[in-house]
């Protein structure tokens, strides 16, 4: 009995360590404190209060907005980006959860209603710190900048010799 508890605990510890290693491995990734803040304060709120209507598991994605990927938040829904990293006041998501705009109140009243002041403050703090978000995006992997592929450079019209008869 004791042994199985030890096993469970060490498994849990290993799972906790995994994302840390992954984040340190990529120098370009968001910083660790930001990711921890996201995992502790932001992800649970989104999962519990928003995913039902704004994720790939939703029956119908509401307002065209997905909140389960970083790209979804940045791209936004029918109205535009749901958040502007670093700019709380311009972020539609914040407007929605503050309940100040009677046309856009999230989560809707019939679905739990307004978040707690603390949850709203956490969302604001998260956006202020640049909205660090380690969630994988399942969007199509973006191509590199147009001139990063030598083959494309070679075939780009701008690098072709100018000929009076293009068929030559």
Residues in contact with ligand HEC by CB under 6 A are 49-50, 52-54, 62-63, 65, 67, 76-80, 82, 92-93, 96-97, 104, 106-108, 111, 115
Cβ closest to ligand HEC, residue 23 vs residue 82? 82
> Residue 75 and residue 56: Cα distance in Å, rounded?
15
Find the radius of gyration of the CA atoms of the chain. 22
Cβ closest to ligand HEC, residue 23 vs residue 91? 91
**Closest separation in Å from C-beta 6 to ligand HEC:** 39
**Closest separation in Å from C-beta 112 to ligand HEC:** 7
Cβ closest to ligand HEC, residue 32 vs residue 52? 52
CB-based contacts of 65, cutoff 8 Å, min separation 6: 54, 72, 76, 77, 78, 82
Asked whether 129 and 30 are in contact (CB, 8 A), the reply is no
């Amino acid at each position: 009995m004791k042994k199985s508890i030890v096993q469970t605990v060490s498994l849990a510890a290993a799972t906790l360590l995994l994302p840390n290693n992954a984040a340190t491995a990529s120098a370009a990734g968001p910083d660790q404190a930001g990711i921890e803040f996201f995992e502790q304060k932001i992800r649970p709120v989104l999962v519990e209060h928003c995913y039902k209507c704004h994720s790939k598991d939703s029956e119908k994605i509401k307002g065209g907005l997905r909140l389960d990927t970083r790209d979804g938040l940045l791209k936004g829904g029918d109205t535009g980006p749901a958040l502007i990293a670093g700019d709380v006041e311009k972020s539609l998501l914040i407007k929605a959860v503050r309940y100040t705009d009677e046309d856009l109140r999230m989560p809707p009243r019939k679905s739990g209603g307004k978040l707690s002041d603390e949850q709203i403050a956490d969302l604001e703090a998260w956006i202020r710190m640049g909205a660090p978000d380690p969630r994988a995006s399942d969007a199509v992997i973006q191509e590199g900048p147009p001139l990063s592929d030598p083959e494309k450079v070679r075939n780009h019209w701008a690098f072709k010799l100018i000929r009076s008869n293009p068929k030559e």
